[in-house]
Amino acid sequence: MLKFLLLCTLAVASRAEIAEEEDVLVLKKSNFDEALKAHPNILVEFYAPWCGHCKALAPEYAKAAGMLKAEGSAIRLAKVDATEETELAQEYGVRGYPTIKFFKGGEKESPKEYSAGRQADDIVSWLKKRTGPAVATLAGVTEAESLIADNEVAVIGFFKDAESDGAKAYAKAAEAIDDIPFGITSDDAVYSKFEISKDGVVLFKKFDEGRNTFDGELTKEKLLAFVKANQLPLVIEFTEQTAPKIFGGDIKSHILMFLPKAAADFQDKMEQFKKAAEGFKGRILFIFIDSDVDDNQRILEFFGLKKEECPAIRLITLEDEMTKYKPESNSITAESITEFCTRFTEGETQGGRKRSGCQDIPEDWEKTPVKVLVGKNFEEVAFDPSKNVFVEFYAPWCGHCKQLAPIWEKLGEKYKDSADTIVAKMDSTANEIEAVKVHSFPTLKFFPAGDERKVIDYNGERTLEGFTKFLESGGKDGGAPAGDDDDDDLDSDEMAEDPLKDRLQC
């Protein structure tokens, strides 16, 4: 009996070690497994105390935890200080802050990446969708009205026969979407309330036209396309809250309008932008960026824009080959934007691409230990068959680039008198070249001597010793062929920065 009591006491003590802050569990390596056993469905935020995005998320995250706790839900929210619990952070591939993962059913091997918004309601809705039935049965008008009222976007399937092929396709589509609630009803009163005369699917939303009715063959694929095309506003303002929806979606072509919200003609230009958006639903996201907001200046710089140059239109594709485009005309009308987008979708926008020779060659570009490259001299320097050229592609605002700068200068000093090695740098926010695609900053690439035009990515330590070994080995020690580079090889405190996704993570 004494042994049994002792074991019970130890078990209670172990559970007591999981502290809470504002209804959020505080996890460490020592209690992580215990937490997963005690709470089979748990959302875990890996954060850094200094991270601005984590600080912005904190009150909404705590609010979501409180909402679930007040409902008596078994779902819990937790957080891990990834700067202290480095083993846990490494185990779960934490590369930026915040990283949020959902552990379902006590499984710790393959958690689901959180992919919804940063508001408390978004978090709660996503978790309920992940843990409950994919489709809620709506028995009457009150339940249907509540589903619509409680959510920014909701989908209702009207099916007299829940076993019909259409209803089954609808259920499969619902299972594939995490962040939108789906309901189903066969109730005549609900049909009447929403003026539905036959089986079908309606998406209800609190913006734009208010509702969209599906028209087509009821298949999972077509239903998913319908929802994805209509679940976002025609024009989305880029903010901390909307960023996850922008980057988490399937639409990877984004057109951006940079415009100060305080501008006298703001409403007129917004109407023109929105009018153009109507013809590209499901194909191109139309995004508005307030060019007066300080946090958006990085994005302007990434596109080579200054505040005084706004309003301006730019288009970017976020596929493996990130490409930026600008229209030939500065006009912001529905007609000009529609023409630009049409040319893009038809593959005719090459003439509107940002050209490589954006900056003039500085007079003293080769007089400093680290040579300065721009679009106009990159080709002849980087692919000089008699030289080994090591280039840093940087952004002026990038914190990691600033940390690297003194080391890169020392490397330049070390090789300034070399007959066959050049250390160089290029501002990739002001220069874009066809030969190299830069997706994040800093990007380090080596162009070895020879006629083969080889490009080798640097994956090693960002130290003078690491760079020296790399150069002395001819690009072998710490290098990988271009195309094989994986951000996972970077240290967690040296994550490459993307000016767009930077609004999501530190």
By annotation, the residues acting in catalysis are 51, 54, 398, 401
Helices 399-414, 464-472: crossing angle, 10 deg rounding = 50
Structure tokens at 294: 């300080």
Which of 14, 49, 54, 21 has the alpha carbon at shortest distance from 35?
Answer: 14
Distance in Å from the first CA to the final CA of the chain: 53
For 414, counting Cβ atoms within 10 Å of its Cβ (0-12 exposed, 13-18 middle, 19+ buried), the class is middle
- 492 — phi, psi (to 5°)? -65, -25
Distance in angstroms (rounded) separating the CA atoms of residues 354 and 360? 15
Which of 365, 377, 385 has the alpha carbon at shortest distance from 447?
Answer: 385
Q: What is the DSSP letter of 441?
A: B
Distance in angstroms (rounded) separating the CA atoms of residues 347 and 48? 42
Distance in angstroms (rounded) separating the CA atoms of residues 242 and 220? 26
129 and 148 Cβ atoms separated by less than 8 Å: no
